[in-house]
Amino acid sequence: MFRRLVLALALLSACSAGPKPSPQPQPSDVAGPEVPSDEAAPTGRLPADVKPTHYALELTIDPDQPRFSGRVEVEVTLEKARRHIWLHGQGLEVSEAEVIPDGGQPLTATYTEAEAGAAKLTLPAAVAPGKARIALTFTGAFSDRTNSLYRVTSAGESYAFTQMEPVWARQAFPCFDEPAFKTPWDVALVVPDGEVAIANTREVGRKPAGEGKVRVQYATTEPLPTYLIAFAVGPLDVVEAPPIRASDVREAPLPFRGVAAKGRGKDMAYAMKHTPAILAELERYFGIAYPYDKLDIIAVPDKGGAMENAGAVTFREWLLLFEESSASYDQRRAFAYVMAHELAHQWFGNLVTMPWWDDIWLNEAFATWMGYRAVDGWRPDYDADVQMLTRVLGAMGRDRLVNARQIRQPVTRNDDIHNAFDRITYQKGGGVLAMFEQWMGPETFRKGLQGYMAKHRHGSATADDLIEAFSAAAGKDVSAPFKTFLFQPGLPEVRAAVSCEGEPSLTLTQGRYLPLGSTAKTDQAWQIPVCIRYQLPGNDEPQQSCELLDQPVKKVTLKGCPTWLMPNAHAAGYYTWSLDPESLKKLTTKGLAALDDREKLSFGAAVRNAFDAGHLDAKAAFDALLPLVADPNEEVATAPMGLFHRAHRYLDGDEGLRGVLARRAKAAYSPVLQQLGYQAKAGEPLSNRLRRERVLGFLIAVGRDEVAQGRAAKLGADMLNLKGERLRRDVVDPNLAGLVAVAFGMTATPEQFDALHARLKAERDDAVRGHLLAALSSPRAKGLGDRALGLVLDPALRVQELTTPLRVRMSYPDTRPEAWTWLKAHLDEVVPRMAPRRAAWLPDLTTGFCSTERADEVRATFAPVASKVPGGPRELAKAVESIRLCAAAREKQLPGLKAYLGG
């Protein structure tokens, strides 16, 4: 029926279009060169001479069945004659395959699947250059690993959802599964009558399809690549909100809905209330209307993260389903940042799409940067500027590895595609963009982005296209500085040395930052926008000076001899820095209080990096960082904790000195906890609530504070309420809920473990399940460690929860050896249960180790698995390198650490 309808419409179009076109040559009449029949199967990009121009896709989806079926018709343009056509298909059974040349007779094709998700259509004769249509009828199995077209069960009901990015559309239907191929789509879904069916665009028709099914037709999409196609089918709750009102850049109201599993729609009130304000911030910045005909936000059971599908954005339930009164600040803030990130993608990535995965940073780095900017406009109290910097500093920790990617990394294999979704692409990319925004000026930067969007609307664009737009807006070529950050890996280091002899000056020297044990090359250089801030004697306001550090060494004249100097003003630059010893002492003793929160975080990171590089010993590093402990900002106050954690790892096997370190940790942070107390106080600053959670957790884990652990466990017992019917979320500050659950779990008895497990199996709410699973993962009682680890193979755990027991037990030194032994013994059972990308990240769980022997063991254990999971080899290499770097730093710093602790 579907095929006849498409053919009839095509015939009608041909008859009404005026004079008949000239007859097309039949396959036997083809002249000119033909693509050789022995062309190798593509493992990266498909051949460029076949381009799709339109899809008509019909899928029959019944979430209660193990398989789905469908038919796809793809209009294509061929630039060369071909007896075979490469496209993508993986794990599909194709029962009918035809290629219909424009004006010619259908050719029956043979469909075969090759490596790396490629598929080949072999034809009995060559198809001439020009237009053609590919028609395929197929079936496939639903995925059970939350990728492609997959099934999940929630509260006994079955649902089907999609996650096509990056290369999983090919498992749902045959297609040209590359981002450059943006085409309009006509989609129809055949689903059980009575079930909800959501797609990228609005529903425009519905009719019976027999056998208790209905056929739902959707409006033609704007041009979209395959990775943005989305469906949701099942007994879903649909929350119809008032349309988002028209704006200065959007003339019409925007249809807006929330979608959740059956019975959960009532929990979407917070997300429905606040999403329009975030969208307004984005439209205001871009000056371009939201580009699609509706906005559905969809809460998906057992999903990790979120996905920016055009018009049908999917989210982990935890991000959308909660009551404001019981949600932690982190949960509400996560909603804001992730919602802003995914909605920013409607412009970055959806409206303008990268042609290939080497430019995925154009999607993810911009959405990261823009997401924080939008949240800052909506909720300044969320401290978005500081929060973004903490993520950027985390990326710097990865960027110092030899095995780190560059932002714009060549992509030749599927492994490269999966590796591109990492902290370098998201957080480093976002940090670099923020740096260049400040260097160019915010309005010039914005003008360049708006020009880029307007020029490439509904099309594709590369890094060169973006840099060209920035250069046009700036009135000068900005490509050289940009490209030094895009096209090479590594963390730049700016070494600053003050001289007050003669004319005061600052000498800036750049190079690649290398931690102890690194084998990275040192002959790298960047063009770095560097801004310094410094105080002159007798001046109330600090001075600021900015330079483009485009040479290995550059001398900057100062207006006087500074009382203190900060080498990264407002921490706007993507670089770590160091100061000559005297200037560092002045900054620590005289300038620290004058720094803003971002600068204090940059200071903390610079001190830790100097320690990791061997430029500061333990005493100098602790002396520099400990003054931050009393800071009212939670990110600044907790910055010294990273140094304590490093020291704790270096002291593995020396319980005596670990005890000394614990007492030092208590001495530093117990006064903070005493001031804050264990429970939130009415009217207290939000930063107090956030500091309380982090300080209490640190005192339990590193400070070995038995009083703090006991108090937290008691709060956990009251909250979990195992003798009652349900959790009592009102007895503890929501920001402490996860921590006190872990504290209770540490003391759990076998009977309490059983009660927690029974509660977990019956619970639907993501946040509550997280508390229960954290408690179940934490027991120290004999015999319960193995039961906790066994949860990884328990059907009661969702796919996205599988690593929680391992992550918790691998993070504590006393449970790490047992967890590692268990993981090695069960690795072949664990990996098949996991979502593909999460399986690749398993080696990262081992980075708490700190010896070359453990590094070798980790490599040997994971090597056979890494080669079989997407992105596995690079993730393993990064984990092994991290362990080796820790071992090198330990060897260098351990004598000084022992001396500092009195050992």
Catalytic residues: 342
Question: HSE-up of 869 (CA within 13 Å, CB side)?
Answer: 27
Residues 6+ apart with CB under 8 A from 275: 256, 295, 297, 339, 343
The three-state DSSP-derived secondary structure of 61-94 is CCCCCCEEEEEEEEEEEECCEEEEEEEECCCEEE
Helix or strand holding residue 529 (H, E)? strand 528-535
User: If you ran DSSP here, which 8-state letter would residue 245 be given?
Assistant: P
Determine the Cα–Cα distance for residues 39 and 333; give it in Å rounded to an integer. 51
Pairing of strands 295-300, 459-460: unpaired
- Residue bearing tokens 């690593």: 803
User: If you ran DSSP here, which 8-state letter would residue 355 be given?
Assistant: S
Q: Categorise residue 305: left if φ over 0, alpha if ψ from -120 to 50, beta otherwise.
A: left
Determine the Cα–Cα distance for residues 628 and 672; give it in Å rounded to an integer. 12
Helix or strand holding residue 214 (H, E)? strand 213-218
Question: HSE-up of 835 (CA within 13 Å, CB side)?
Answer: 23
CB 606 within 8 A of CB 523: no
Query: Coil, strand, or helix at residue 233?
Result: strand
Question: Minimal CA–CA distance to 458: which of 273, 263, 291?
Answer: 291
The distance in angstroms from the start CA to the end CA of the chain is 82
Determine the Cα–Cα distance for residues 754 and 750; give it in Å rounded to an integer. 6
Q: Is the dihedral of CA 603, 604, 609, 612 positive or negative?
A: positive
Determine the Cα–Cα distance for residues 558 and 555; give it in Å rounded to an integer. 10
Query: Coil, strand, or helix at residue 152?
Result: strand
Question: Minimal CA–CA distance to 742: which of 787, 708, 703?
Answer: 708
